[in-house]
Each structure stands twice: as C-alpha cells, then as structure tokens.
Chain A
Amino acid sequence: MAVPILKQGQYLIATIQSALSDVDLTHLQDALVGQVGKLRSRGVIVDVTALDVMDSYASRTLRDLAHMIRLRGAETVIVGIQPEVAFSMVQLGLTLEGVSTALDLEEALLHLGQKTKRPQQRDKPS
C-alpha cells in the first residue's frame, strides 16, 4: 500500500496508514528523498501513529531516511510512536539515534518551525 505524501507549505507530511511491507517502506524512502529536492522542502514529517508494530527493518529505514533527508538539506521528525511500540523498540535496541521525534503532528510542526526559522528569515528580503 502506497503512502500518500502531502505538501504543506515548506514541509512534506507522510502519514503511514497501515502496516507496510519492506518494499512499501523502500518506496516511501525513495519518494520522500526525491520530493524533498524537487519541492525544496525544509522539513519532512513521518506520522506512524497507525503502526502498532515497528520491526528492525522499519526503524532502520526510518533512521536512514532521516539521515538521507538531512544530507538533502531538510529536517525529519518522526511522529506518533505508540507507547508500547516505543518501549519494545528500545528493548530491541532500535532507538532511532540522531532522529527527532515528536508526540503528534502539531508538535512536529512547532519543532520544525523552530529548527528551520533562521534560513527562513534569511530568505526574506531585508
């Protein structure tokens, strides 16, 4: 099942709506990394609220995704990890190191707003 990617201002929002196969995940990764450059986005939000399992492949893909997007000049926030999922991930040693996380979409937008503030101001003509 493909994941819809929505453009919202300077950000891209991908909401995962059901369990994803490894292939779907790779597709999502490719699409996001591509779109970030094409749409000149400053931030990417991946919403995983609907996931009640997160295996090692998924969390590694998300981590790599975040690192790739940073290389493309944008920030990534993973949003809505369920409490149970969070704890089992940590027990498996999948801690998404170096990746920003937030409670929900609103938080993530705030977070990205703070992180991408300066470049935005620089863009404005003085």
Chain B
Amino acid sequence: MADLESSFNQLTEMGESISTLLRELVAHLRESRTQLRQEWARRITEAKLLTAMSADEVFNEATAVYDQYVEALETGTFEALQTYARNLSERIIPRGVEIHEVVGIVLLLRDVLARSLFAKFQGDFGKLNRILDAYEPAANRIANTVAVGFVQERERIIREQQEAIRELSTPVLQVRERLLILPIIGVIDPHRARQLTEQLLRGIRTNRAKVVVIDITGVAAMDSNIANHIVQTVEASRLLGATVIVTGLSPEIAQTLVNIGVDLGKMTTVGDLQGGIEEAERLLGYKVVPTEEQTQQA
C-alpha cells in the first residue's frame, strides 16, 4: 500500500513536473521567437524546401506555423493546429508543394528548437533530459498532425478530381431529334460501366430517344465482364423502347469478343461512327440529301 502510494505520488510529481517543464519550454520559445524563427526560415531556404514560394511567403508561413507550434505545445490541444495545417495545405498544394517538403520543414523546426534547448540547458544534463522528455512526444505529435493534415487534404483533392473526371467521362449527346450518341473513350472499369448504363438509360428517358449509337472507337481493350455489361445495356435500352447501334469495334476487340464467346447476336454493330449515324437516320426515317440535289428534285 505504501509502495503504491509512493509510486502514485511519484507519478503526480512527474505529471506536475512535465507541465512545469513544458511551461518553461514555452516561455523560452516565446522569448527567442524572433531569432529561432529566422534560424528556421534560413534552414528552410538552405535545404531548398518550398522553392515554389517566395522568401517573404516562407517567412510569413514560418511565423504562423511557429506560433501555432508553440501554442500546441502550451495547450496540448491540436485542433487549432490541425485546422491551420489543412488551410495551409489547401493554399500550397495547388502551387506544387510536395509532401516531403512539408514534412521536411516541420522536422527542421523540431531540430531548430531542439538545438536551442541544447544550447540553453547544456550546463544541466539532468534538466536537459527532462525537458526533452517533455518536448519530444509533443513535437512528434505536431509533426504527425501536420503531415496527416497535408495528406488528407491532398486525398480530398484527388477524390474531387476523380469525381469530376467520372462526370466528364460519359457524355450522352443528342445529335438529332430522338437520336443519342454515347462516345466512350479510354478504359472502362466496372464502376464506369455502371455509370455509363445509368446515364444512357436516363438519357433515353429524358430525350425520348429511339435510337442510340454507342461509339467505342476510343476503347483500347475490353474484357468479358465489360462486354457482357454492354450487351446488357443494349438489352435494357431495348426494354425502354430504344434501338442501340454499337460502332467502332477495333480489330483487337472484335477478336477478343469472338474468342471469349460473347453473344453478339442481339447487338447491331456498324464499322464506324459515320456508318452508325447513317444507319440510325435510316431507322428514324431521315434522309440526308445535298442541297443542290434537293433543289433539282423540287
């Protein structure tokens, strides 16, 4: 029991001493703010980090990061720093700042501050050790927070762009009354295939289409899943009352489709987009006549 009590006391003492040490540390960092900040900015330039930003900008950001850093050390809360890191990332990512630069500058700051602590407490190794015990975990956590913030921001941007590309990747275009074209370019993955089908079926509905031309000239390769998906799309379109013409099958795709034995009996295929549109016009009862001929006929 006595043992427990004494160790508990020790713990509280330690807890107290860590917070006292941190307070002392923060006071020291506030005191030498100007000098340390300059030292840090110098080391950043020296290490050729953040080359996308001007010296002034680097200095301004350095000041802000320094203050946030000290505050995080003082309060032990990281929310403010997290928000700041995310904002900073939002600003600097479009300018091409890389993750190694961001991690690099935060680690540099850690080193600069640690050096200054060495310098200040070099007379008393015991104290230096205790100060570092308090400083290191907090500093590491800060570095972690900033790096994670940066990566999250970047992932968010990537997700947004993926979304945008997906939206753009499957246009359903109306070329004539009741005639839609769906040009497909690039790789079709299952997700895109499904989206494609959805957009096409919805397009048939809203445009009251009777004929749809799916042009796959821009598709380099196709596996059996995707081929089946296209066959299914053709069938589903038929259920909505539309005829589908597939155009632009490359020789490779034609060979693959025959080799894997996809049932193409239900699909109308035409060599190229022009032929497809002509066929569609025929189905819709259009006849394209050169203007001269037309006037002669009239």
A89 CB contact (under 8 Å) in B208, B233, B236:
B236
A102 CB contact (under 8 Å) in B201, B233, B235, B241:
B241
B242 and A86 contacting across the interface, CB-CB below 8 Å: no
Closest A residue by C-beta to B239: A86
A85 to B201, CA, bound (A): 10
Task: Kindly supply a per-residue 1/0 record for chain B positions 238-258, scoring 1 wherever the CB is within 8 Å of any chain A CB and 0 otherwise.
Answer: 111110000000000000000
A103 and B204 contacting across the interface, CB-CB below 8 Å: yes
A90 CB contact (under 8 Å) in B205, B210, B232, B241:
B232
The yes or no answer to A81 lying at the interface (CB within 8 A) is yes
Chain A contacts of B204 at CB under 8 A?
83, 103
Q: Which of A99-126 contact B (CB under 8 A)?
A: 101-104, 107
A89 and B241 contacting across the interface, CB-CB below 8 Å: no
A96 to B237, CA, bound (A): 12
- How many chain A residues touch B (Cβ–Cβ < 8 Å)? 18
The yes or no answer to B198 lying at the interface (CB within 8 A) is yes
Task: Kindly supply a per-residue 1/0 record for chain B positions 177-214, scoring 1 wherever the CB is within 8 Å of any chain A CB and 0 otherwise.
Answer: 00000000000000000000110011011001010000
A27 to B202, CA, bound (A): 32
Chain B contacts of A81 at CB under 8 A?
239-240
B241 and A95 contacting across the interface, CB-CB below 8 Å: no
B205 and A107 contacting across the interface, CB-CB below 8 Å: no
A87 and B205 contacting across the interface, CB-CB below 8 Å: no
A85 to B235, CA, bound (A): 12
A84 to B204, CA, bound (A): 12
Closest CB-CB distance, A101 to chain B, in whole Å? 5
Task: Kindly supply a per-residue 1/0 record for chain B positions 217-239, scoring 1 wherever the CB is within 8 Å of any chain A CB and 0 otherwise.
Answer: 00000000000000011011111
B232 and A101 contacting across the interface, CB-CB below 8 Å: no
Closest CB-CB distance, A62 to chain B, in whole Å? 11
Closest CB-CB distance, B165 to chain A, in whole Å? 23
Closest B residue by C-beta to A79: B241
A83 CB contact (under 8 Å) in B208, B232, B235, B240:
B240
A90 and B208 contacting across the interface, CB-CB below 8 Å: no
B239 and A103 contacting across the interface, CB-CB below 8 Å: no
B201 and A87 contacting across the interface, CB-CB below 8 Å: yes
B232 and A103 contacting across the interface, CB-CB below 8 Å: no
B201 and A86 contacting across the interface, CB-CB below 8 Å: yes
Chain A contacts of B237 at CB under 8 A?
86
A20 to B296, CA, bound (A): 59
Chain A contacts of B205 at CB under 8 A?
83, 103
The yes or no answer to A91 lying at the interface (CB within 8 A) is yes
- Knowing A83-B198, A103-B205, the reply to whether A95 touches B240 (Cβ < 8 A) is no
A74 to B241, CA, bound (A): 19
A101 to B236, CA, bound (A): 10
B232 and A91 contacting across the interface, CB-CB below 8 Å: yes
B208 and A86 contacting across the interface, CB-CB below 8 Å: no
- Knowing A87-B232, A90-B232, the reply to whether A101 touches B201 (Cβ < 8 A) is no
Chain A contacts of B208 at CB under 8 A?
103-104, 107
Task: Report B's interface with A, CB cutoff 8 A.
Answer: 197-198, 201-202, 204-205, 208, 210, 232-233, 235-242
Q: 21 A-B pairs, CB-CB below 8 angstroms?
A: A78-B239, A79-B241, A81-B239, A81-B240, A83-B205, A86-B201, A86-B236, A86-B237, A86-B239, A87-B201, A87-B232, A87-B236, A90-B233, A90-B236, A90-B239, A101-B240, A102-B241, A103-B204, A103-B208, A103-B241, A103-B242
